[in-house]
Structure 1
Amino acid sequence: MTKETDHARQPTDELIALLDAADTLPGVRELRAMSYELLHAEPGTSAVDVGCGTGRAVAELAERGANAIGVDPDEQMIAVARGRWPEADFRIADAYALPLADASVDDYRADKVFHELAEPARALAEARRVLAPGGRIVLIGQDWDTYVIDSSDPALTRTIVHARADQMRGPRAARRYRNLLLDAGFHEVGVEVHTGVFTGPAMLPLLVGLAEGACSSGAVPREQTDVWIAQQRARAAADRLFLALPMFVAAATAPR
């Protein structure tokens, strides 16, 4: 469930479907709302949502009265966002070169983006450039090494999780949020962790994706991959699936 550059991306149609499914999961709406509160988004403020995907956060920020801009490098993603939210401002660009003037926005938001970036420090330097003095930044994302999955083969599950993480540019970016923000010169840096617990079939596509990613890397043979996926499908059918997914939320203030 990623939205930025620097990485061999899934086909955009598949990615859009995954993002739409993720938006309906328990707690996700609340996590987005919390990010807006941390930004202090309110009428008259301006915000950029980097890696905006299909634009839901931009629309919700606008509902709060903020002047929101959505940025994503994927032309098809931006086309979908414009179709869904025709009154909103969406632009094609990546995290390293935002189409904004210096000190021109009050808020910067990036949700499930930084694990895709090869140069997170460069992206944060760009965030510093576009943020007004005292502006707010919020980063949201999962640590790809910390999926907690119940299975009958913990060793294989560990291999699957870590092999999939190793395919990311920055699989452990979320645990680095605080230090990255401090290194970039931000002040009042805080980090929270909100863990979602999922026991139904809605998360099967994510689990299948983890396993298929590990298989494609050569870390797990095809036969073991198929068995593991079948076991997780059986768990879901029997109401025995268990996944805990910690989401890291970091907020900070730009120097005044």
Structure 2
Amino acid sequence: MDQNRTAGRTKDDTDALIALLDIADGIPGASELRARSYELLGIAPDAAVADVGCGSGRAAAEIAERGARSVGVDPDERMIAVAGERWPDVDFRVASAHALPFADGALDGYRAEKVYHVLDDPAGAIGEARRVLAPGGRIVLIGQDWDTFVIDADDAALTRTIVHARADLVPAPRIVRRSRNLLLDAGFADITVEAHTRIFTDAAMVPVLANLAEKARSAGSISGAQAEAWIAEQRERGRRGRLFLALPLFVTAATRR
């Protein structure tokens, strides 16, 4: 995550985020998506690969298991400490996506998952990725478009308001739409984009939906009564097995010329 987004975070905040990341890592399809990103990196034995915004380190550890010299990078010192405790054989370093601790052309692979939407300067981070990648090195970016939560609800207009209001609280909510063009601008080649949609129909996702509505309420985009009614409907849908949430994730990959 971007250094500017971690400066005011407390230990409890980071621990709560780690708990959420652990849940996200375990939801259906998550491990398959990570595996697909490793395929796109084209990891060779002893390749130098960085997982940027590595969080608590799972992907960096899985990359190391594939024979690479894996380095996990994150600006949050607490994140790096937890990652080091969990995966003591992996190299973890505190650093920002805009100032990576690698020499020019030092890496064969660069991976960033659910990172670029929190960056203040995504184009600058792409430039830094190009700097540290060797010619022929691969970059893989994974993220969601925050305007494309697909939710079944009785009030479609209110649901659109909630989704867009939540998106507007994110520094770069639509960065996945720009990723291909940013890579083109930076001189990358062989650019591909894949969509992997996760569909959820059980009550386990009610807290996620409730959080969307609460964020929209706190931003003043909807009233407290609207938020309460919308959340109550989603809880009831979850109880009856009628909830529907689809979340597209986009994987953009390219080669450093």
Q: TM-score range by the shorter chain?
A: over 0.9
Q: Percent identity?
A: 62
**1:47-196 alignment runs, 5 A limit:** 47-196=49-198
The residue identity in structure 2 corresponding to 1:80 is V
CA contact (8 A) 2:63 2:70 kept: yes
Query: Any gaps of 5 or more consecutive residues in structure 1?
Result: none
CA contact (8 A) 1:6 1:116 kept: no
Which residue of structure 2 aligns with residue 20 of structure 1? 22
Q: Distance in 1 between matches of 2:18 and 2:64?
A: 21
CA contact (8 A) 1:7 1:168 kept: no
Calculate the TM-score normalised by the size of structure 1.
0.95
CA contact (8 A) 1:6 1:169 kept: no
Runs ≥4 in structure 1, deviation > 4 angstroms? none
Name the SS for the 1:137 alignment partner. Answer: strand
Measured against aligned partners, the alpha-carbon deviations of 1:131-156 in whole angstroms (never above 9, x if no partner) come to 01110000000000011000111111
Displacement after TM superposition at 1:5 (Å): 4.1
Q: Distance in 2 between matches of 1:82 and 1:31?
A: 23
Name the SS for the 2:137 alignment partner. Answer: strand
The residue identity in structure 2 corresponding to 1:48 is A
Name the SS for the 1:43 alignment partner. Answer: coil
Which residue of structure 1 aligns with residue 212 of structure 2? 210
Q: Distance in 2 between matches of 1:6 and 1:184?
A: 23
CA contact (8 A) 1:5 1:116 kept: no
CA contact (8 A) 1:201 1:237 kept: yes
Name the SS for the 1:224 alignment partner. Answer: helix
The residue identity in structure 2 corresponding to 1:180 is L
Measured against aligned partners, the alpha-carbon deviations of 1:20-63 in whole angstroms (never above 9, x if no partner) come to 11111111110000000000013211100010000000010011
The residue identity in structure 2 corresponding to 1:60 is E
Calculate the TM-score normalised by the size of structure 2.
0.95
- Structure 1 pair 56–37 and aligned structure 2 pair: CA distance change class (3 A): same
CA contact (8 A) 1:195 1:247 kept: yes
Q: Distance in 2 between matches of 1:17 and 1:204?
A: 17
Q: Distance in 1 between matches of 2:243 and 2:98?
A: 39
Name the SS for the 2:161 alignment partner. Answer: helix
Matched, 1:46 2:48: yes
Q: Distance in 2 between matches of 1:228 and 1:120?
A: 34
Displacement after TM superposition at 1:204 (Å): 2.1
Name the SS for the 1:206 alignment partner. Answer: helix
CA contact (8 A) 2:41 2:138 kept: yes
Q: Distance in 2 between matches of 1:160 and 1:149?
A: 10
Aligned residue-pair number: 253
The residue identity in structure 1 corresponding to 2:138 is R
Deviates more, 1:5-14 or 1:18-27: 5-14
